[in-house]
A and B are shown apart, each in its own frame.
With several copies, the nearest count.
Chain A
Amino acid sequence: MDILYFAWVRERIGLPKEQIQTQAATVADLINELRAREERYVAAFSDLSALRVALDQELADFDAPLDGVREVAFFPPMTGG
């Protein structure tokens, strides 16, 4: 599964993209897995209310299932326009 990071999430984790193997059932499970890895993930995922997630380039909720998903992206609330 490809995991993408944008804006300050990318900066805290220190890379824009990585490939991981996971059995996580939901986005929330995946976040817990990542947090358990290293301090920089804890820093990036400390406040979920300040985070958004997209599954295969569609906005999703943290309890969304990861079944069949190929690309997960984490980023702060958007500030376009």
Chain B
Amino acid sequence: MRVVVQAEPFDYAAEVDRFAADRSDIGALVCFAGVVRDTDNTLSMMEIEHYPGMTEKALSKIAKEAKDRWSLGDVLVIHRFGKLTPGEKIMMVATAAPHRAAAFAAADFLMDYLKSRAPFWKKEHSRESADWVAAKQSDETALSRWS
């Protein structure tokens, strides 16, 4: 299990390549990456604030819970903070399990918890303004699937 919180970009390809590599008790690998989206071509920068100390604790707790709940072979969570540009990867999670159902469910669970329970806040900067991204009710609702 590995949890990383950093300002620097991470090497997505290298991470997925290394994740659970050479393990032959694993049949299914799922990875999710979140990307800075700019559908309307108006975003100049995405700023991510976090709560140092609590972030690492919250992510480790979420990762451990997923690992225990689905008996995962491995879990990886990487999340950036600071200033990101459109198209850059914000974060990734990866899960490894003997079968696909567990790997998918665990990755889905990790994302739901990470979205609403890890102390990150996004601010979108355009040429004209800078706005904090509002939490979505659908993200809160998604969490109820797991209780």
Contacts and interface: CB of A to CB of B under 8 A. Distances in A.
Interface string A44-81: 00000000001001110000000000000101111111
A7 interface: yes
A33 B51 CA distance: 24
Nearest to B118: A80
A18 to B, nearest CB: 16
A77 B135 contact: yes
B118 to A, nearest CB: 5
A77 to B, nearest CB: 3
Nearest to A57: B54
A41 interface: no
Contacts, number: 71
Contact of B115 (A6, A7, A8, A79): A79
Given A80-B115, A81-B111, A7 B123 contact: yes
Interface centre among B48, B54, B123, B140 (most CB of A within 10 A): B54
A6 B117 contact: no
A81 B90 contact: yes
Nearest to A54: B54
A75 B90 contact: no
Give chain B's interface residue range (CB within 8 Å of chain A): 20 to 34
Contacts of A54: 51, 54, 119
A79 B51 contact: no
Given A6-B119, A54-B119, A80 B54 contact: no
A79 B54 contact: no
Nearest to A10: B49
Interface in B117-147: 117-123, 132-135, 140
B139 to A, nearest CB: 8
Interface string B79-122: 10000000000110000000010000000000100111111111
Contact of B116 (A10, A58, A77): A77
Interface of A: 4, 6-8, 10, 54, 57-59, 73, 75-81
